[in-house]
Amino acid sequence: MAAVKDAGEAMEQWAEIEKAASEKRRELVLQGLNIDKKIQTGGLNPSIYSLTLLNYLEISQCPSLIEIHQGIENLTHLQSLILCRNKLSTIPKAVGNLKSLKVLDVSVNELKALPNELSQLSELNTLNVSCNKLEGLPDGLSRCTKLSTLNISKNEITRFPEDLYSDHLELLSTIVASENLIEELSGDISNLSALKNLDLSNNKLSDIPFDLADCSKLKEINFRGNKLKDNRLEKMVNGCQTKSILDYLRAGGRGRGKGKQQNGGEKEEGGKEKDKKKRTDKRMKNRKDEDEVDEINRMVVKVLHISDAATAFTVKVVAEVKDVRPYIVCCVVKGMNLMPGNALKRFLAAQMKLHDEICGRRTVATIATHDLQVLHWPLVYDARPPKTLKIIPLGRKEMNAVDLMRHLQLEAQEQRKQKKRQNVSGLHKYLQLLDGKENYPCVVDAQDNVISFPPITNSDKTKMRKSTAELFVEVTSSTSLQTCKDVMDTLIVKMAELNKFTFDHKEEALSDGESDLAGEKVTVLAAGEMTSSELVVQQVRIVDTEGNLKVVYPSKTDLVSDVANLTVIR
């Protein structure tokens, strides 16, 4: 990227920034090839730092972006700053002046260090610095007392700073530090009373401290890929048996004192017991408050069974799909509120992230979400010749599958050339899943409209909108039925989390929203929506052409999750 120019220097204005300024927008997303070309030509336009009303700014997927100007400090209302998948080598100290910032995501860049000024972000809730070249973390993180999620995976970090173990971080519930060079985990980890998820897989650890078992809320731990001295513990770790590991550590903690009853060992052990008692007393003292917080944060998913529904939703599966993509599960989700602020964007971003992660960039499974109100029932999961399969893909005109695949292949090849990659891209990988197939899979409604062409695209006709309140969700796979169910379970939990977040921040969203959107929101409220974050998941039957039941989701064995604060009512 060319050096960032002074604001006073003549520079062609960007239409995206002009529009955001003229419409007094609170959110701005700049990403992808077109933005990257502009940055490559003249740098990031400095007028972006004059958009002082922004509370959400995302600049992502721009390899030409290598720095952010100090002018970022002008955006004092920012609550979310997303700068992922660029080539940033530094973060300016001025970021520390963004006193309202709650989410900072600078993942997948080329950062070697973070400024100590990050410790000034007293409202920071989520910090994602994964996939960089960091060798350490900044000092003073304990001053970020509202920090809840820390992701430092895939760096070159050798140790945690001492103040990361501070009991001031009483809300820190998730630490993801996999694929680093961490050699030691301090027993002071037990000070993190809210810790629920800890991932230290693929590091350089040789021991796990017994004190870890004192983290009373710990639900998931991952230490795979470390060469532990204790062979028995290493077997448990490789099996990811969280409960067994914690029980083993507790037992080991009680037996630590053996052999130390000489040369002052008894006194030393007594001191440790006193320290442990103090920590226990403190946890007991705070447990009531923590339980009250848990109750406030509780997410509720109610399962509506077919027998309870006025109209049962059914998807018929033709025999031919077994040769191309045989597995499918579906459900209807009601109660999602996508109207306020950037709720829809958050939902679509979460779906994309699941595609990249648990779905293996669509090679393992594919998620499709539709606006239920525009569907015509019943639906059919069909397999059709490519030339006769016609769909209106998202953001495109109607075309058959042959032409669509050709367009996507050309786009993927062009993308690979521009990024100078030898390996096939994620897009290439899931296109190749249909190579050599005589028929392509598709979901068709009662009017013979193709609403889904997995794993390629959905129909533009049924796409999600802010006004969407009821969703039809499908997960397909060529791997296994259980894969479909696992992905659907993960998606439902994520939807519950997003809906809870939206519900908790609805007043803020209403006050920050534009006047025309605010009017819609008031209408929604008047109609009785947004009164609860509860999700209702209605079962959908998958049957064969003879009407025989193949699978129903969610069944009694689905949505069995140990996610904290999630209650499933069946």
pLDDT at position 156: 95
pLDDT at position 1: 37
CA atoms of 98 and 96, how far apart (whole Å): 6
pLDDT at position 270: 56
Q: Both 233 and 328 in a single domain? A: no
Contact 142, 169 (CB under 8 A): yes
Q: Both 197 and 320 in a single domain? A: no
In a domain, 276, yes or no: no
Give the tens place of pLDDT for each residue, 441-486: 999 999 999 999 999 999 999 999 999 989 999 999 988 888 899 8
In a domain, 268, yes or no: no
62 forms bridges with which residues in the sheet?
86
Q: Both 413 and 529 in a single domain? A: yes
- Which residue ranges of the chain lie beneath pLDDT 50? 1-10, 253-268, 286-296, 308-310, 422-424, 507-530
Q: In this structure, what CATH number is given to the domain that contains residue 49? A: 3.80.10.10
| Three-state SS annotation for 131-149 | CCCCCCCCCCHHHCCCCCE
Q: How many CA atoms lie within 13 A of 354 on its CB side?
A: 24
Please identify, among 227, 254, 281, the residue that sits at the C-terminal boundary of a domain: 254
In a domain, 280, yes or no: no
Q: Which two tokens stand for residue 162?
A: 């001492």
Please identify, among 233, 254, 275, the residue that sits at the C-terminal boundary of a domain: 254
In a domain, 20, yes or no: no
Please identify, among 188, 219, 254, the residue that sits at the C-terminal boundary of a domain: 254
CA 392 to chain centre: 28
Q: In this structure, what CATH number is given to the domain that contains residue 369? A: 3.50.40.10
At 198 the three-state DSSP class reads strand
pLDDT at position 482: 86
Q: Both 388 and 512 in a single domain? A: yes
Task: Return the CA Rg of the chain.
Answer: 26
Q: Both 240 and 325 in a single domain? A: no
pLDDT at position 198: 93
Q: Both 365 and 243 in a single domain? A: no
In a domain, 17, yes or no: no
Q: Both 89 and 189 in a single domain? A: yes
In a domain, 370, yes or no: yes
Phi and psi for 276 in degrees, rounded to 5? -65, -40
pLDDT at position 265: 46
Identify which of 132, 37, 139, 151 has the alpha carbon closest to the alpha carbon of residue 90: 132
Q: Both 250 and 308 in a single domain? A: no
Q: Both 250 and 192 in a single domain? A: yes
Cis peptide, bond prior to residue 386, ω within 30 of zero: no
In a domain, 275, yes or no: no
Structural element, H or E, at residue 287: helix 265-296
pLDDT at position 281: 58
Q: Which two tokens stand for residue 190?
A: 């037990």
Q: Where are the alpha helices (DSSP H) in 443-546?
A: 481-504, 506-512, 515-526
Q: Both 250 and 384 in a single domain? A: no
In a domain, 19, yes or no: no
Q: Both 303 and 186 in a single domain? A: no
Domain count, the chain: 2
Domain containing 138 equals 27-254
Q: Both 119 and 201 in a single domain? A: yes
